[in-house]
Structure 1
Amino acid sequence: MRAKVLPGRTTTAAEGEAVVFLIGMRINHFWAVHRWLPVLLAMPMMLRELARDRSLGMLHHLMLTGSPRTYCVVQYWESKERLLAYAAAPDRLHRPWWGRVNRLVRKGGGHVGMWHETYVVPAGAYESIYGDMPPSGLGRAYGAVPLGDGVQARDRLRV
């Protein structure tokens, strides 16, 4: 299914704080497939679980690659509470897989690297603009609205 292009300039409809979670991995040694492949495969399983049950709080995600050895997932969440609740839920995929992935990384002899960053961005401290684009990023996660004529980035950033 192709996303519909929204004509003209739009911005995110987000109100209040925005929660952005970045998680990534780096394959340090391609030949150690048994070390990095389970790490690589864990994220799509969790993303499918989150997409099936929107009540868990993930609004949208985007998978990126920086090179054949680096991968990143950008996730947009309803709230930091929902993100933390999912991470700790014993009946969801994250908690058991996080234990496995940590063991693989710790005992992996440097074959695979992992990182994550969480940003809780206060209202007025984020800004977005999309020109003739389907909803993307914050606009896809929180919805997109037309941007008024003459509205500048400084008007959207209120800090």
Structure 2
Amino acid sequence: MVSRTTADAKGDVVVLLIGMRINRFWAVHLWLPVLLAMVRMLRELGKDPGRGLRAKVLLTASPRTYYVVQYWESKEKLYAYATAPDAFHHKAWAALNRKERGGKLRGEVGIWHETYVVPEGSYEAIYGDMPPVGLAAAHGQVPLERRGRSAKDRFAYRSRKEPAAEQAG
């Protein structure tokens, strides 16, 4: 393992933060299905890399708050998964909406998500004696010197896109 590395991301980076908060622990029958649905969606995405999920990090913010940091290939692939009728997300979201409209959730569980499309030049990463995690797990890891030793240098890095004629050559 190289001791100091950075993520090998090129172009825009798509990050989805998604989670849940257990508002009432005793309502296990209402919040446990939400938690298990996230596990099932992550398993489904893991089995089909073509859907666009590149990496994920599962986190616990407190005994009642759980979330996942997800790194996606593109916002288009994220939207495609979220709206695909054949994906489990579609079924889970419909069931959750039915429970909310029917008043069955009554605040026992909260859900949230935030999506960010981060343009190249607006992110940087450094890892010391770490296996690939986060952005490096999503895009690969390179020695720090390839992108610059300082954060300023890494922010200034731009991937070089080869012209189509050179790629075909």
- SS class of match (1:7): coil
Q: Does 1:10 align with 2:5?
A: yes
> Over aligned residue pairs, what C-alpha RMSD do you find?
1.5
TM-score (normalised: structure 1): 0.92
Residue type matched to 2:74 in 1?
Answer: S
Query: Could you list the runs of 5+ residues in structure 2 that have no partner in the other structure?
Result: 158-169
Q: Report percent identity of matched pairs.
A: 61
What's the counterpart of residue 3 of structure 1?
A: none
TM-score (normalised: structure 2): 0.87
The 5 A counterparts of 1:74-153 are 74-105=69-100, 107=103, 108-148=105-145, 151-153=149-151
Cα deviation for residue 98 of structure 1 reads 1.0
Higher strand proportion: 1
- SS class of match (1:29): coil
Q: Does 1:155 align with 2:150?
A: no
Alpha-carbon distance in 2 for matches of 1:58, 1:11 = 20
CA distance 1:105–1:12, shift in 2 (3 Å): farther
- SS class of match (2:98): helix
Alpha-carbon distance in 2 for matches of 1:156, 1:104 = 46
Contact kept? 1:17, 1:120, Cα under 8 Å: yes
Q: How many residues matched?
A: 154
Residue type matched to 1:103 in 2?
Answer: R
Q: Does 1:29 align with 2:24?
A: yes
Alpha-carbon distance in 2 for matches of 1:126, 1:49 = 29
Query: Could you list the runs of 5+ residues in structure 1 that have no partner in the other structure?
Result: 1-5
Larger radius of gyration: 2
Contact kept? 1:105, 1:112, Cα under 8 Å: no
